[in-house]
A and B are shown apart, each in its own frame.
Chain A
C-alpha cells in the first residue's frame, strides 16, 4: 500500500520531518520484531513524545483509513509489533520517562517506552523493584509488557504484568484520551484495566502506566539442583509445589541449553547434567532456612545428584545471567531455532517433555528446553538449519504439534509471548468459533473500525494480512 501523501504531510507538520520515517531503505528495519518468522514493512513510522501527539496521529490515521499500531523495543516473540497490514507504526521509544515514583503508596507512573529493568534500577536503591521480569527485561519496554501481559521467571510467586498494573492512560482508537483504573487496586465498575492488559495492542494505545512497586525481599536464596534425568527434575517441580512451598522462581534447563550457556557465558552450570533446576526462594530471612531444608530434601528424594546454594550475590547474578541470556548463547551452537511458549498444568510436565523429544525425533530435529517450570511454561526450542527448507517446515510442524498437545493436556497456547501473528492458525485449537466471536465483539467496542493493529490474535481479522506477510523462519528469540 502506498501511503497517502496528504497523511504524510500532515504527520510532518505535526511532528516535524525528523520524527517521521517514510523511506523504504529505512522502513525495512521495522519489518519484524523479535519474531523474524513474519515480516511486513510499515508504510511509515512516527515517534511521538506526548499523549496528545499520539491522539493526533491516531485521528489522522482514522481519517485516512490507514491501519496503525504501537511498537516498543520490538523484542516481542509473536509478531505483535509488525504492521501486518501495512500502515503507520507509532514507535514509543521517545516516550521513555519515569514520571513519578511514590514509595509511600508503592507505585510508579511511567511512559510506555521505559525499559523494564530501568524502573527496577531506579527504585532499587530505595529497596523496591518492578516484579515482572521477562528474560528480555534489559531491553523490553513496559508498554510492551502491558500489551503482551508479560511474565518471567518470578511470575511463579509475584504474578504476571496484569497483577502489577493499577491504572492506564489510554488513547482509544478514536483518538479519545481515557483513564482506566487508578492509583489503588479497587476498581469501580468494570475492570477495564484487566481487559486492556494483554490485549496485544488491539484495544488502544497506552501512554501512561501506573504500576505497583514491590518491596525487595529481606532475604533471597538461590539453589542449583543437578539431575541425571530430566524426568527426575520435572517430578521435583510438582513435589515442591505440592508441599505448599511457593518458590519465587523455579526454572528447568536441559543439557543442550546448559552446554550452550557454558560455551559462551560460563555461568557455572554442570555440563554433564541431563537437567538442572534453578530454584529461588525469598521472604523474611528467618523463614528461609527452614524452607531451604525442605526444598533440599525434596530435591534429594527425587534423585538430585547435587544440591548447592549460590553463596555470594555475584554467584547468584551469574546463574541468573546464564538463565536469562541462554537463548543468545544458543547462537553459538545452532544457526537458527524456533521457540513457542505453550503452557501445561504443572503435573503434566514430565509428559509434555517426553512428547517434545519424541516429536522432535519423528521429524529428525533436536528439541531443547528451558522452562519456567513452576508455572508450566515449557519453551521448547527447536534447532534447525535455516538453509534447509525441509527443516524449516519440520520446525513449524513440531511447534504446532507441541501446542496442540499442550491444549490436550489442559494447557494454553501462550504463557507470555501472545498470539500475535505467530499463533493465528492455532487459536482455533483452543477456542470455539463462539468463544472467538465473543472476543471479537469486545474488540469491536473498543476498536470499531479495526484499523488499530489489524491481523493479530484472530484468524478472522487476518485474512487480508495473511497474503501480505512474508513468512520466513524465526532465527531465535527471548523466552
Chain B
C-alpha cells in the first residue's frame, strides 16, 4: 500500500458492509433534483449520486482524501431527501455518517472548527449546566440591547459576514429552560388513558420551553399523564452528523439510563431531528435490549396523536397555513400525513400547498453555522416559496427549522408567524400561554 493510500481512512476502513451499501446505488440519478445543494450549484459532486461516487472512488483508492473531497462531503445537509427519492433504498445518511466519522481523525481543520467539534460538541451541548450558563448570557445579551446594537448599528458592518449572519439568526432567548433538575409529572385531564415520557433534548429545552409546555398540555388534554425524566441529555444527532460518534454513543447511554427505571407507554419527541436519532439508537447495537426497547417506544408527537382518538380542537383559528416538512420527520422517519391531518382538524384553518415543502430549509443542525453561505441560499429559496403562498403562518415540527424559518421571516420582513405544530394545536385548544411556565 502506498503511503498516500495508507492515509486514506476510507480505503483502509471501508469493508464488505460499506461496499454493499454503496453498491445499492445503480447510478440512475433519481436523487439529483431532490438535493438542495445540487439544485443550487448544479454540480454532480454536490449531488447524492456524486457524493456516493466520491466515497466509492475513495474506497477503491482512485482519488485522494483531500480538502476538495471534504468540501463536497461537508456541503451535504444530510437532509436525506435523496433517501425518499431513491428507488433502490440506498442508505445515504448512514454512509455519510460513516464517512464523516472515520475521516474525522485525518481532517486538517481550522482552529475554529476544532474548537467547535471538541469543545462545543463534547463539553457544552451534553451539559445542561453549560447550556444554561450560555443561554443566560445570550438572554442578557438581548435584554441589555447589545444584540440590537450589533444587528442595527454600524457595528454590524465591522463583523465578518459569517459572524454577522450567525448573529442575526439568533432567535429570542428565554430566561429559563423548560426541564427541572427533578422528575416532573403532569397529570392527565379527565379520564387517564395512559402515561408517556417527554424527551426534552438540548435546543428545544433551552430555546423553546413554550413548545414543551404546549406539548404537555396537548397530551394532558388527550388523557395522558406526562413524565419528564430529569437526567436526560442531548440525543447526539448533531454529533453523528459532525462525525463525532464517540460523544454520540456516550449521550445515548446517558439517555438510555435516564429513561430506564420509569414506566411509560411511549417516549414523546417534538423535535424531528431528535426523533430520527432516538429511533436509530437500536441500529447502532441491535443486541442491546435496552436500546431496542427504547427506540421502539420513541414516537414523534404527531405520530403518537394519530394513534389516539384526538380531542377536537374547539377554538377556530382564522389562519392561512403552510406546513414545511422537517427533513428528519419526512425523510428520516417517513412521517408526513399525520401532521397535515392534525392541522386540517383545526377549525377555521386553510392549509395551503407549499412548493418544495419536502425540501430542506437550510438549518440542518449545525450546518447553518458551519456552511452559512449555502444555508442562506437554501433558506432564500424556501422563503421565496413561502412568500408566494400568501400564508399567515408557517408550521414546522423541529427547533432547528423553527430558528431558521424565523430568521428567514425576519430577513424578508414578512408578516408570517412561525409556529411549532404543538403551539398551533395548543392554541386551538386555547391553552393559557403562561401555564406550566414560571
Contact = CB atoms under 8 A, between A and B. Distances in A.
Interface string A86-100: 000001011010000
Main secondary structure of the interface of A (DSSP, over half): loop
A30 B44 contact: yes
A328 interface: yes
B327 to A, nearest CB: 18
Nearest to B85: A138
Shortest Cβ-Cβ A-B pairs, 3 listed = A328-B87, A93-B42, A476-B26
> How would you classify the secondary structure of chain B's contact residues: helix, strand, loop or mixed?
loop
B87 A329 contact: yes
A329 B89 CA distance: 8
A25 B29 contact: no
Interface in A293-326: 325-326
Contacts of B90: 331
A151 interface: no
Contacts of A264: 87, 89
A234 interface: no
A32 B54 CA distance: 13
A386 B23 CA distance: 10
Contacts of B24: 331
Given A28-B62, A29-B45, A29-B54, A327 B87 contact: yes
Given A47-B42, A136-B30, A23 B88 contact: no
Which of A36, A73, A91, A136 neighbours the largest number of chain B CB atoms within 10 Å of its CB?
Answer: A73
A80 interface: no
A477 B26 contact: yes
A141 to B, nearest CB: 10
A34 interface: yes
A460 interface: no
B30 A328 contact: yes
A115 B88 contact: no
B43 A47 contact: yes
Contact of B66 (A25, A265, A336): A25
A334 B126 CA distance: 44
A335 B27 contact: no
Interface string A393-413: 000000000000000000000
Nearest to B67: A25
A128 interface: no
Contacts of B69: 25
A28, A94, A325 — most chain B CB neighbours (10 Å): A28
Contacts of B89: 264, 328, 331-332
A392 to B, nearest CB: 15
Interface residues of B, number: 35
Which has the most chain A C-beta neighbours within 10 Å: B25, B42, B53, B85?
B42
Contacts, number: 114
Contacts of A130: none
B68 interface: yes
A272 B77 CA distance: 42
A28 B53 contact: yes
Interface in A13-35: 21, 23-26, 28-30, 32-34
A264 B88 CA distance: 8
Given A29-B44, A47-B43, A113-B42, A329 B88 contact: yes
A34 B87 contact: no
B39 to A, nearest CB: 9
B33 A32 contact: no
A476 B85 contact: no
A147 to B, nearest CB: 15
B50 interface: yes
Nearest to A47: B42
B64 interface: yes
A91 B41 CA distance: 11
B1 interface: no
Contact of A327 (B28, B44, B50, B68): B28
A40 B64 CA distance: 19
Interface in A67-121: 73-75, 91, 93-94, 96, 113, 115, 118
Nearest to B54: A29
B104 interface: no
B44 A74 contact: yes
A93 B33 CA distance: 10
Q: Which of A21, A26, A45, A74 has the most CB of B within 10 A?
A: A26
Nearest to B52: A29
B341 to A, nearest CB: 15
Interface string A24-66: 1110111011101000000001010000000000000000000
Nearest to B31: A139
A451 to B, nearest CB: 23
Contacts of B28: 34, 75, 136, 139, 327-328, 476-478
A437 B25 CA distance: 39
Nearest to A337: B26
B86 interface: yes
Given A331-B89, A332-B89, A139 B29 contact: yes
Contacts of A29: 44-45, 49-50, 53-54, 57
A309 B23 CA distance: 37
Given A47-B43, A94-B42, A325-B87, A25 B68 contact: yes
Given A25-B68, A34-B27, A115-B33, 16 more contacts: A21-B45, A24-B63, A25-B66, A26-B45, A26-B68, A28-B54, A28-B63, A29-B54, A94-B42, A139-B32, A265-B87, A326-B87, A328-B86, A328-B88, A329-B87, A331-B89
